[in-house]
Amino acid sequence: MKPEVTGVPVPQQEVDAIVALVAGVEHAQQNASPDEFLRAFRKDTVWTTAHGKRLTGFDEISDFTHAVLPRTLGQPVTATYEAEHILFVRPDVAAVKIRQRPVTRDGHPLDEVFRGHADPAALVTERPDAVPGTPLYVLAKDEGEWRIAAAQNTKVVDPDVLAEG
């Protein structure tokens, strides 16, 4: 699916580059590769994890990523990342809304259990591995490369959003 693109007009190659950056984040996460993951970040990035931990600057993000990401390789659940909406604030600044879906290692989406469920909020406790994320990345283009300047990774807990899928 192509992302919805709004804001100032930009060439398609900018949209493609941002979609590729998001795909790189997905690849790094699925393969538990901290160094690949960190290539997406500026040196002065501010990032908040899905659990509310604020990380400031590349070194702090790197320390956290090297401690946490390698442990995920053996887990049965990973995630897909899709750029759903890109707002070009300026030609060199973009806000990117990501759809993060938990999936099994063979690609089966886990968040489908919430779709149409009578009480999706009750399932959150039973199936925390199936709760999707809704990150927002603020990207800046420096020296021809898009990088994450700020990011907020949020777990979806709104029952209506969970039921919609």
Query: pTM of the prediction?
Result: 0.92
Ranges of each domain in the chain:
4-164
Q: What is the pLDDT of residues 143-165, one digit of tens each?
A: 999 999 999 998 887 777 777 76
Dist CA 165 CA 158 (whole Å) = 11
Dist CA 133 CA 131 (whole Å) = 7
Q: What is the pLDDT of residues 16-61, one digit of tens each?
A: 999 999 999 999 999 999 999 999 999 999 999 988 999 999 999 9
Q: How far apart are the first and last CA of the chain?
A: 15
We find that the CATH architecture of domain 4-164 is Roll (3.10)
Q: What is the pLDDT of residues 73-124, one digit of tens each?
A: 889 999 999 999 999 999 999 999 999 999 999 989 888 887 877 887 777 8
